[in-house]
Structure 1
């Protein structure tokens, strides 16, 4: 392959932003990425997985090289809906001063652009690079990274180390990387009753008091106190629903939804079983449905974490906090493949209107990723 001038991460980020890709994403935004990767020597495979309502989802696997160490970069091209109130169009990239505005600028088209630009500056024979890119991270994540992992297994694509480009920095680029994430489980509780007139309660059965008792007991639970690497696990009530428009009717059902974020002292299935048992003590005929989005995980201290932290330090002068805070990411799936670290842009504007990335940060992130690639492949 003929040598090419390194790509400009800002120009590529603009092109990615200009391709609308509200989750689940397919089509044009993947065309943009593929057109940037192919001239760099990447073999690009794209496939669709899933059907409505959670799909279809497009996924992309790009691999360059076939020997030496293998560094995989994971990310997503889908974005959350832009909402109203943008200064200009959410998918009309705009530079004002030192900021690039547009949905996905931070989460995470900017990081993908920075990694591709970094890869463009590294010789193709330095080792093996792969990009593991989905259109289904911001959504249910049923047909995205997990489908890519199955495809990678069939293809024999096995990274030695993984980097995820989520926006992990808080106040300044480089102040935080992620070495793990808490797990997540959502639980739906439905307590049945018997509808009737409020003036004749003996002819009805009100489910609301039972649900209140259930939620009071749940609210009193302390799961743990956290540990050296994780904050305490917490249970939050995220929805209550009776759906009763009448003032004089006892409702036939009362429902609630819980979200539990838990550390590595807990397991999702155990938490679901605990809540189910508690609910059935108060309401034996209630139904409990649990969906585990991911288990807690962490990457143990070692050479890969140190390498990424060292690259950040050498470019920014900052010693990054090695954190497990925040929500979930697709690292919850990928961590079983290889040691994994998440690092990317500042997250202050992600999911907000007028989402924006500092252009100097895009260039600095490119430099960090290039350093990570060079040192990782040279190990």
Structure 2
């Protein structure tokens, strides 16, 4: 079988308009390509989300290398601001433009191409599994979680897993992820008593209570960081009253905070801390404060060891750089995979992801395929 051109496959995927939750033809394309190469493919659709499970090799093989990625992309935004068709995969001066070029259709294409070439030329003593979702950029309720649920039900197992998210800040090979911070969003509603601004004693203004609580939360130092994580952060992301009148004290107002936390904390301990601060302000002000919390993921880490050494060695061999082992950035689907098996992340430079004119140098796509190919060779050696 002729080698798979990872850049051409990337372009074919870019031309599939798979804006979350639309499948757009991307998984259909991958399904056909992988099936032709001898992979057993199964669509694992759930809740209106399209997902693909593909395995080469014996089911339940004790030595199985897994890859996780997504073909869904964020909306293009103002299309008139693009200098190229967001779904055209236009190449100018060696750079491919399009939504998903960086995040992360190039990563999916590079690994699929590496895996197909590998099993075609040197069939390994083991198995390779690809879990590709169409729901990473959305709520992620029926994407990788659905694939992992399917694997549990079917007694499928990955020994280790590589997530192909873009991980490098500026130069190819400079960073890989061995964990991620947790993410928690807390929504507050403050309810007082509406009244005339000239007679504040007849009202109970919820705005000072909101300002006091937000100041207390944002000025608090959560921690100083840990061995593998930076210090946790809390950001006040919105404060709203919706009150256009200057002579009315509003009855209620709302605020939202987002916390990115390390392994000092858990979602539950932070929720308890927020509740204690909330209760104190409510008691002092007489304003009723309700809170709802959404935990997008807990912090986790895959301790440095065999898997990170394997990936780092391949990256160094192909780029000449020793990647930093990092836990920075937002969340990824690795937060789900880490419950299944050891997981690390490595992918492209992510400077243009989610931006207008998102792009990737074509040479980087080929380089990424070379890195993934070396990882597979070294793992099964």
Match of 1:28 in 2: 25
Q: 1:163 to 1:121 in 2, by over 3 A?
A: same
Q: Does 1:269 align with 2:255?
A: no
Match of 1:165 in 2: 164
Match of 1:179 in 2: 178
How far apart in 2 are the matches of 1:275 and 1:300?
A: 30
**Deviation of residue 276 (structure 1)?**
1.1
How far apart in 2 are the matches of 1:345 and 1:316?
A: 12
* Contact 2:62–2:159 under 8 Å retained in 1: no
Match of 1:81 among 72, 75, 89: 75
Match of 1:120 in 2: 116
Q: Does 1:318 align with 2:315?
A: no
TM-score, normalised via structure 1 length: 0.95
**Deviation of residue 19 (structure 1)?**
0.5
Q: Does 1:43 align with 2:43?
A: no
Match of 1:90 in 2: 86
How far apart in 2 are the matches of 1:283 and 1:302?
A: 48
How far apart in 2 are the matches of 1:73 and 1:106?
A: 17
Q: Does 1:9 align with 2:6?
A: yes
* Contact 1:68–1:377 under 8 Å retained in 2: no
* Contact 1:25–1:77 under 8 Å retained in 2: no
Match of 1:64 in 2: 56
**Deviation of residue 68 (structure 1)?**
5.2
Alignment of 1:248-263 (within 5 A): 248-263=247-262
Cα deviations by residue, 1:80-120 (Å, 9 ceiling, x for unpaired): 11112110211111011111110000100000000011012
* Contact 1:182–1:296 under 8 Å retained in 2: yes
* Contact 1:102–1:355 under 8 Å retained in 2: yes
Aligned residues, how many?
370
How far apart in 1 are the matches of 2:305 and 2:51?
A: 31
Cα deviations by residue, 1:120-166 (Å, 9 ceiling, x for unpaired): 21125312111111111111111111111111101111100100000
Q: Does 1:295 align with 2:298?
A: yes
Alignment of 1:124-273 (within 5 A): 125-126=123-124, 127-273=126-272
More off after superposition, 60-69 vs 101-110: 60-69
Q: Mind listing any 5+ residue stretches in structure 1 that lack a counterpart? A: 51-55
* Contact 2:44–2:150 under 8 Å retained in 1: no
TM-score, normalised via structure 2 length: 0.95
Runs of 4+ deviating beyond 6 Å: none
Q: Does 1:345 align with 2:348?
A: yes
**Deviation of residue 172 (structure 1)?**
1.4
How far apart in 2 are the matches of 1:17 and 1:172?
A: 23
**Deviation of residue 248 (structure 1)?**
1.4
More off after superposition, 104-113 vs 241-250: 241-250
CA RMSD of aligned residues (A): 1.2
